[in-house]
C-alpha cells in the first residue's frame, strides 16, 4: 500500500481511509477478468453506499447482491438499484411484510430459497394472498467426491440435477411465487486463496482439489440450469466470486458473476495467484503506550475477521514496515501491542496503518470512511453504521 499519512495529516486516529485510485483500479480489473459477463456487486464486502454507487457506475457492473432483506429494502428505498438479489434466505417476518406491501420493492428484489419450507415461511409471514414474489433457487456448489465428504460451504440442500428439478417443480406449483433466477456459489474455489503464504504443500493440494471441484461443477451446473430452464424462463444464473471470475464467467450456463471483496483488497486476497487486488481500505491507530524500547502499543485494533479462528483472521500492521502483533496479546479490543524493528522508532501519537483480513467487516467498526484521491483528502462518507444501519 502507498503511504496515506500526508493527505490525512489533519485527522486524528483511529480512522479508516479508502484509496479511490486503488478502488477504481480493482473495479476495472474485476470487470476485465469477468470477460463481458456482468458483475453483480456483493454489498456485504462494501457496506458503504457511496462506494457501492461508484462501483455500479463502473462499466461491467449491474445489480446488487445483498446479505439481508432489510438491507435490500433500505438500498432500494434510497434509489441505489432496482435489481437486487438477496443472497441468503430470510427469516425476517417484518421485512417480508414490508416487501409484500411495496409493489416497487417486490418488482426489484429477488429472494433466495432452496426448499418448500422457505415458501411456507414467506406465506406465513405475508399471508396466503400476498402478491407475486420473485425468488431465486440456490443450488449447492460444493464438491462431494465421496459419500460423507463435503468440500465447500454448507448452504443449500439442493445438490443434484434431480433435486434441483424437483424443487423447481414444487416452487412452480405454488401461487404467489415467480422463479426468476438460479445461484450456485463455489466457495471452495472463489473463497480460498490458492497460494497460502508459508504453506506450499497445502497450496498444492488445495489447487488440485479446486481443479477437480471446478471440473465437476462445470458439468453439473450446466445440467442443473438446463433442467430448470426447461421448466421456467430464468432471467439470470449467478455464480462465482472474486477468486473465480475467470473460470466462472467462461461457463456458458452462467449469465452473471458476483464480486465484492476484490474491490477492497483485504489481506485474505493476498494469497491468490490469478488476482491480487491493490489494498484500497486501510485504517490508522495511534500509539498510546511505550511499555519498553522494543514495543509500541496502539489504541484499540481488535478487529478480528469472521471465519475459522487463526492468524489469517487477524489484522495486519503494514506501515511503517517491520511491525508485527505479539503472540500473547494479538489484536485487542482496547489496545494492541506491536513489536519489530520499527517499534523502536515510534513515539506517543504516531500512527500505525493496518489492513483488515476481510473486506466489509471493517465498516461495522467505523461510522465514516475518509476518501483519498491522489494526494487530496475528499469529504468523508458514511458507512452503513454511520447511517444508523446494521444488518449483521
Domain coordinates in residue numbering, the chain:
67-259, 281-387
Task: Read off φ and ψ for residue 38, nearest 5 degrees.
Answer: -65, 145
What pLDDT does 271 receive? 79
**How far is 387 from 84, CA to CA, in rounded Å?**
20
Domain 67-259 has CATH 3.30.365.10: no
Q: What is the pLDDT of residue 256?
A: 97
Q: What is the third-level CATH fold of 281-387?
A: Lyase, Ornithine Decarboxylase; Chain A, domain 1 (2.40.37)
Q: Where are the beta strands (DSSP E) in the chain?
A: 15-19, 39-42, 61-66, 84-86, 109-113, 133-138, 177-184, 236-239, 256-259, 281-292, 295-299, 316-319, 324-325, 335-339, 351-355, 368-373, 376-382
Would you say 256 and 37 are in contact if contact means Cβ atoms under 8 Å apart? Answer: yes
Q: 225 near 237, Cβ under 8 Å?
A: yes
Cell of 239: 455464480
Q: Hey, CA dihedral for 6, 294, 281, 265, is it positive or negative? A: positive
DSSP letter assigned to residue 199: -
CA distance 240 to 259: 8
What's the whole-number average pLDDT of the chain?
93
Average pLDDT over residues 126-147: 92
329, three cell numbers: 496479546
Strands 316-319 and 351-355: antiparallel
Q: If you search the block for the grid coordinates 405475508, which residue do you land on?
A: 126
Q: Please give the Cα distance from 199 to 133 (Å, whole number).
A: 47
Rounded average pLDDT over 96-117: 97
pLDDT digits (tens, 9 = 90+) for 16-36: 999 999 999 999 999 999 999
CA 321 – CA 279 distance, rounded (Å): 15
For the record, the C-alpha cell of 96 comes out as 417480508
pLDDT at position 195, please? Answer: 67
Query: 316: burial class by Cβ within 10 Å (0-12, 13-18, 19+)?
Result: buried
Helix spans in 111-239 (H): 116-126, 161-172, 187-190, 200-229
Higher per-residue confidence, 264 vs 244: 264
Whole-angstrom CA distances from 355 to 28, 265, 269, 283, 305 are: 21, 9, 11, 7, 11
Q: Please check whether the two domains, 67-259 and 281-387, share a CATH topology.
A: no
Is the pLDDT at 118 greater than 90? The verdict is yes
pLDDT tens digits, 256-289: 999 999 999 999 888 787 788 999 999 999 999 9
pLDDT at 128 over 90: no
* Contact predicate 80/53, CB 8 Å: yes
- Candidate from 90-99, 200-209, 261-270, 339-348 with smallest mean pLDDT: 200-209
Residue corresponding to grid cell 444488518: 391
User: Could you say which DSSP state residue 113 is in?
Assistant: E
Residue of 275, 267, 351, 348 whose CA lies nearest to 314:
267
Predicted confidence band of residue 151 (pLDDT cuts 50, 70, 90): confident
Give the pLDDT score at 3.
78
Please state, in angstroms and as integers, the Cα–Cα distance from residue 11 to each residue in 15, 16, 17, 230, following that order: 8, 10, 11, 58
Percent of the chain with pLDDT over 70: 99
Q: Which of 41-55, 106-120, 271-285 has the lowest mean pLDDT?
A: 271-285
Residue 244: count other Cβ atoms within 10 Å of its Cβ: 28
Q: Is the pLDDT of residue 107 over 70?
A: yes
Contact 253, 184 (CB under 8 A): no
* Predicted structure pTM score: 0.93
* Residue range 176-204: mean pLDDT, rounded: 84
pLDDT recorded at residue 16: 97
pLDDT at residue 341, rounded to an integer: 94
Least reliable range by pLDDT among 115-119, 202-206, 239-243, 363-367: 202-206
Amino acid at each position: 500500500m502507498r503511504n496515506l499519512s500526508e493527505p490525512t495529516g489533519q485527522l486524528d486516529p483511529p480512522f479508516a481511509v479508502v484509496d479511490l485510485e486503488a478502488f477504481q483500479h480493482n473495479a476495472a480489473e474485476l470487470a476485465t477478468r469477468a470477460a463481458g459477463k456482468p458483475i453483480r456487486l456483493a454489498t456485504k464486502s462494501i457496506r458503504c453506499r457511496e462506494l457501492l454507487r461508484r462501483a455500479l457506475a463502473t462499466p461491467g457492473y449491474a445489480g446488487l447482491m445483498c446479505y439481508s432483506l432489510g438491507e435490500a429494502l433500505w438500498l432500494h428505498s434510497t434509489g441505489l438499484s432496482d435489481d437486487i438479489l438477496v443472497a441468503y434466505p430470510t427469516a425476517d417476518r417484518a421485512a417480508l411484510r414490508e416487501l409484500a406491501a411495496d409493489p416497487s420493492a417486490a418488482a426489484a428484489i429477488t429472494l433466495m430459497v432452496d426448499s418448500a419450507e422457505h415458501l411456507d415461511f414467506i406465506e406465513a409471514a405475508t399471508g396466503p394472498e400476498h402478491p407475486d414474489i420473485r425468488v431465486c433457487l440456490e443450488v449447492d456448489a460444493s464438491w462431494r467426491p465421496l459419500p460423507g465428504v463435503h468440500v465447500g460451504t454448507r448452504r443449500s440442500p439442493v445438490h443434484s440435477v434431480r433435486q434441483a428439478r424437483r424443487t423447481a417443480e414444487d416452487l412452480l406449483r405454488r401461487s404467489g411465487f415467480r422463479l426468476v433466477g438460479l445461484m450456485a456459489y463455489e466457495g471452495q474455489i472463489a473463497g480460498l486463496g490458492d497460494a497460502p503464504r508459508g504453506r506450499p504443500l497445502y497450496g498444492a493440494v488445495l489447487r488440485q482439489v479446486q481443479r477437480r471441484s471446478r471440473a465437476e461443477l462445470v458439468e453439473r451446473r450446466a445440467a442443473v440450469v438446463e433442467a430448470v430452464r426447461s421448466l421456467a424462463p430464468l432471467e439470470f444464473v449467478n455464480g462465482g466470486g472474486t477468486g473465480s471470475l475467470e473460470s466462472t464467467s467462461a461457463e456458458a450456463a452462467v449469465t452473471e458473476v458476483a464480486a465484492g471483496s476484490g474491490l477492497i483488497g483485504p489481506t485474505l486476497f493476498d494469497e491468490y495467484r490469478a488476482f491480487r487486488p491493490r489494498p484500497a481500505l486501510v485504517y490508522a491507530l495511534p500509539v498510546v503506550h511505550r511499555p519498553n524500547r522494543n514495543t509500541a502499543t496502539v489504541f484499540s485494533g481488535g478487529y478480528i475477521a469472521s471465519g475459522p479462528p487463526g492468524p489469517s483472521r487477524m489484522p495486519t500492521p503494514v506501515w511503517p514496515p517491520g511491525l508485527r502483533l505479539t503472540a500473547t496479546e494479538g489484536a485487542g479490543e482496547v489496545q494492541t501491542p506491536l513489536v519489530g524493528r520499527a517499534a523502536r522508532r515510534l513515539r506517543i501519537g504516531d500512527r500505525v496503518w493496518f489492513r483488515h483480513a476481510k473486506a466489509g467487516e471493517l465498516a461495522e467498526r467505523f461510522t465514516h470512511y475518509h476518501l483519498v484521491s491522489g494526494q487530496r483528502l475528499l469529504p468523508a462518507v458514511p458507512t452503513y453504521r454511520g447511517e444508523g444501519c446494521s444488518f449483521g
